[in-house]
Chains A and B, each alone.
Chain A
Amino acid sequence: MVTALQWLGQWAMGAVHKLGRAHLFALHALSGFPQVLVRFPLLVVQVYSVGVLSILLVAISGLFVGMVLGLQGYNVLSDFGAEESLGVMVAASLVRELGPVVTALLFAGRAGSALTAEIGLMKATEQLAGMEMMAVDPVKRIVAPRFLAGIVSMPLLAAMFSIIGVLGGYFVGVGLLGVDEGAFRSQMQAKIDFHEDIVNGVIKSLVFGVIVTWIAVFEGYDAVPTSEGVSRATTRSVVYSAFAVLGWDFVLTALMFGKD
């Protein structure tokens, strides 16, 4: 009993300590953002490796998620003779929830893990210490451009996911199942609100972008500098990102769409 309490206390202390380090680290990285904007090529390279290289994965996933939504939505809606509303259902699910959330989960697996492993290995091979001794701040030079690239890329990827998903739903609904094309489009246009749905979805994806990239770069920078340490950090990066995204999605949804 006592040892269990002791263990719990130790764990909680460790967690709080780590959370504090993560916040100081984020502030430090944030202070490097102006410098990144001045040296724009540094950011472009990272947007390419973090964002552009994730496009194919996100596009294919978006297409299939949209197609599945089209199929399932048709099955339910046709029971009520409401298959014309398929467009609204597909678009609303994607823009409000699936776009930001699934993209963030994919992004954590594709880009977040790569960031953690890269930074962790740079630490393990003394590259970060070497930079410090060359009077170059590794948090500003290495972490800040990657952090910013993740924040920039995530909303764009989520938007792309939603758009391609709607096209996939349209293809299944209108193309294969014979839903009326005009109804699909006009209902979607009438019911999807710019502020209520699209802006909120973009805010979600932005928040998830910050969370996932933050966890990824921090876990890499905080990794134990051995091969085992880096591999653990990479696993943690993906697991924590998934938890954080799903948890924050509930909080954000409650704030945005809860009864007012």
Chain B
Amino acid sequence: MTSPFSDQSALVSIRNLTFTRGGRKIFDDISLDISRGKITAIMGPSGTGKTTLLKLIGGQLRPDSGVVQVDGIDVHRLSLGDLYELRKRMGMLFQSGALLTDLSVYENVAFPLREHTRLPESMIRSVVLMKLQAVGLRGARDLMPGQLSGGMARRVALARAIVLDPMIILYDEPFTGQDPISMGVLVQLIQDLNRGLGLTSVVVSHDVRETASIADYIYLISDGKIVGQGTPEEVDRSDSPWVRQFMHGLPDGPVHFHYPAVDYASDLLETAVSG
């Protein structure tokens, strides 16, 4: 299974990945590629393990079988030290932002620099202010995370994720719970950063319209399988009933409106008898 950008080598390639948690198969033998320099979206209903996929790519979880390669390196064969070296080249944007609550916005963005480099303070200041400027929050540098709105917190986290100039950014549900304006801001930012910094982006989301508007390639995941893939246009035109239901948000289709239950009429009658 190769993407249409196979002329460029894939930055992340996942082969025959299987992952089980609590006796449930989250991923069942899936393979996918994430092309360099592109925005790849991974979409699917809530609870299909999209976030789990990011954690597998970042090496926070181990697969039962299969291979995850990032830039040609098998993530799950690395020692902890080498894994940390690889993670310095990866940025991840958590849904909650995951900002350190006891540090100011400025110190949060400076955190990776202080941990991993011995840059002089003046250099750290310049880098931090440049990254904050990129997300439009240079003026908010002295605020504490508790004083930020959800959208602002995510933008600060984004500034922190790009402060070490990574090669790839993993976005975990970047649009969830945002008002239309900050949603628009985030959509714009993801696109601009990807182009401006030459990044590779992976966006995990179930916000179909926003994600489709910026993605170069889309994978649809359901019940541990890839059920559809292609460019946004291809996915939109897909004749698979499941893909159509998901992309257009139809209430009933292959995914039923009703949670599996015994027959409605007999269920009601049973209550009447026992009552």
A residues at B contact (CB < 8 Å): 122, 125-127, 129-137, 141
Q: Does B242 contact A (CB under 8 A)?
A: no
Check A134 against B101 for contact (C-beta < 8 Å): no
Q: Does B123 contact A (CB under 8 A)?
A: no
B77-117 interface code vs A (CB 8 A; 1 in, 0 out): 00010001101101110111011110000000001100110
Which B15-60 residues sit within 8 Å CB-CB of chain A?
58, 60
- Give the complex CA separation of A126 and B112 in angstroms: 16
For A130, give the chain B residue with the smallest CB separation.
Answer: B98
Check A136 against B94 for contact (C-beta < 8 Å): no
- Give the complex CA separation of A131 and B98 in angstroms: 9
Interface centre among B80, B98, B160, by most chain A C-beta atoms within 10 angstroms, is B98
Dominant SS among interface residues on chain A? helix
Check A132 against B112 for contact (C-beta < 8 Å): no
Pick the contact of B101: A125, A131, A133, A141 (CB < 8 A).
A125
B residues at A contact (CB < 8 Å): 58, 60, 80, 84-85, 87-88, 90-92, 94-96, 98-101, 111-112, 115-116, 157, 160
7 residue pairs A–B, Cβ–Cβ below 8 Å: A127-B101, A129-B60, A134-B112, A135-B115, A136-B111, A136-B112, A137-B84
Q: Tell me the minimal C-beta distance from B167 to chain A in angstroms.
A: 14
Pick the contact of A127: B92, B98, B112 (CB < 8 A).
B98
Check B84 against A129 for contact (C-beta < 8 Å): no
- Give the complex CA separation of A136 and B85 in angstroms: 10
- Give the complex CA separation of A125 and B95 in angstroms: 10
Check B84 against A135 for contact (C-beta < 8 Å): yes
Pick the contact of B115: A126, A127, A136 (CB < 8 A).
A136
- Give the complex CA separation of A132 and B100 in angstroms: 13
- Give the complex CA separation of A134 and B116 in angstroms: 9
For A45, give the chain B residue with the smallest CB separation.
Answer: B102
For B58, give the chain A residue with the smallest CB separation.
Answer: A133
Since A127-B99, A133-B60 are in contact, a sample of 19 more A-B pairs with Cβ atoms closer than 8 Å, ordered by chain A residue number, is A125-B101, A126-B96, A127-B101, A129-B98, A130-B92, A130-B157, A131-B100, A133-B87, A133-B94, A134-B88, A134-B112, A134-B115, A135-B84, A135-B85, A135-B88, A135-B112, A136-B112, A136-B115, A141-B115
- Give the complex CA separation of A136 and B58 in angstroms: 13
Pick the contact of B98: A125, A135, A137, A141 (CB < 8 A).
A125
Check A129 against B94 for contact (C-beta < 8 Å): yes
Check B87 against A134 for contact (C-beta < 8 Å): yes
Contacts of B92 in A (CB 8 A): 130, 133
Q: Tell me the minimal C-beta distance from B74 to chain A in angstroms.
A: 18
Contacts of A135 in B (CB 8 A): 84-85, 87-88, 112, 115-116
